[in-house]
Amino acid sequence: MKNKNARCVAASLALLVLDACAPKPPPGWSGYAEGETVYVAAPVAGRVATLNVAAGDTVQAAQPLFTLDATLERAADAEAQARALSAQAQAEDTDKGRRREELAVSQAQLRQAITQAEQARAELRRREGLAQQGFIAPAQVDDQALAHQQAQARVNELQAALATAKLPARSDQRESARALATAAQSSRAQTEWKLQQTQQVAPSNAAVTDVFYRPGEWVEAGQPVVALLPPANRKARFYVPQTELGSLKMQQQVRLQCDGCGAPIAAKITFIAAQAEYTPPVIYSNEQRSKLVFLVEARPVDAKDAERLHPGQPLDVLSP
């Protein structure tokens, strides 16, 4: 019996020695997967016209998600476009003189005035000659001289009017017209943007996690219609005891393991909490319970691997 006990003690000591010499497994922590949902909403209110996705679908970037009824936005955009064209035309008109037809009228009036002035000059010379011969009184010469002056003044007036008609509007009027045209174009840009926002597309590749409205329902501006979960928004959250926190740093690689996930998922640490907290109830570990821990987050390196994580799924996080 003593020999048997001695052999048992020797075997136990050998196992202890082998266990002490075996390499220690890498440190690991318990955690869970979490997803940061992207809520897609339109910045304008309207009735849902079309819904292109359903919960559980996978969408690609720029793929249409839903469309709101845009009857009001199209009408407002058409009005703003017409106002912008009108303001632009008025601004361009201030850079021009009068129309060719209007200039033709002024030129005809000028030619008529020149003819009348020449006739008045000829009549003045004739009367001056008659007055020198004593056939008419000097007063008649004075009257004709006044008529000639008036005819010449009319010529000068029409020449100035014709030159003015060829000039553009005053500089302050042109600046005012250009400012109105710019304001009209800005208003058109706003209505065009609102019209474009009635149709929303996926901002990136993602999985559709929920749909909140159906065709025919009214949606307020900014109210989410579709919820998306992009692969880049899936991450692991785990809690590290304060005694092991010093071994971790930002961008450090870790491995994520979960039931049914297959091969471990390579990830990098992207967040380390600045303050400690107590182990949350979701972590069912007697060793970690009631210990001071720090929240750490890690994101998969490969987006394809991230799709293997499902929010709420328990994870084991291991150091490489």
What pLDDT shows up at residue 20? 44
Residue 262 counted as domain residue: yes
| 152: CATH | 1.10.287
The domain that holds 286 is classified in CATH as 2.40.30.170
Do the domain assignments include residue 124?
Answer: yes
In 107-259 the beta strands, taken as DSSP E runs, fall at: 199-201, 206-211, 218-219, 224-229, 234-241, 253-257
How many Å from the N-terminal Cα to the C-terminal Cα in the chain?
48
Q: Which two tokens stand for residue 174?
A: 């042109």
Of 120, 146, 167, the one marking the end of a domain is 167
Q: Which helix (H) or strand (E) holds 308?
A: none
Q: Which two tokens stand for residue 138?
A: 């000097």
Question: What element of type H or E holds 266?
Answer: strand 265-272
Least Cα distance to 240 among 286, 191, 276 occurs for 276
Residue 78 CB partners (closer than 8 Å, separation 6+): none
In a domain, 293, yes or no: yes
pLDDT for 135 equals: 80
In a domain, 3, yes or no: no
236 lies in some domain: yes
Report pLDDT for 219: 97
- Within-domain flag for 110: yes
Q: What's the number of domains the chain is made of?
A: 2
Residue by residue, pLDDT tens for the chain (320 residues) are: 545 554 544 445 444 444 444 444 455 899 999 999 999 999 999 999 999 999 999 999 999 999 999 998 999 989 989 988 988 888 777 777 677 777 788 888 888 989 998 898 898 888 888 888 888 888 888 888 888 898 888 888 888 877 776 766 677 777 888 888 888 899 999 999 999 999 999 999 999 999 999 999 999 999 999 999 999 999 999 999 888 888 999 999 999 999 888 899 999 999 999 998 876 655 555 554 446 889 999 999 998 999 999 999 999 999 87
In a domain, 40, yes or no: no
Enclosing domain of residue 104 = 97-167
Q: Can you tell me the distance from the alpha carbon of 29 to that of 264, in angstroms, rounded to the nearest whole number?
A: 14
* Three-state SS at 30: strand
Q: Which of 167, 187, 217 is the last residue of a domain?
A: 167
β-pairing, 292-300 with 234-241? antiparallel
For every residue of 94-113, DSSP letters joined together read TTS---HHHHHHHHHHHHHH
Domain-ending residue, one of 149, 167, 185: 167
Residue 292 lies in a domain: yes
| DSSP states of 73-139 | HHHHHHHHHHHHHHHHHHHHHTTS---HHHHHHHHHHHHHHHHHHHHHHHHHHHHHHHHHTTSS-HH
Same domain, 235 and 313: yes
By C-alpha distance, which of 192, 202, 199 is closest to 42? 199
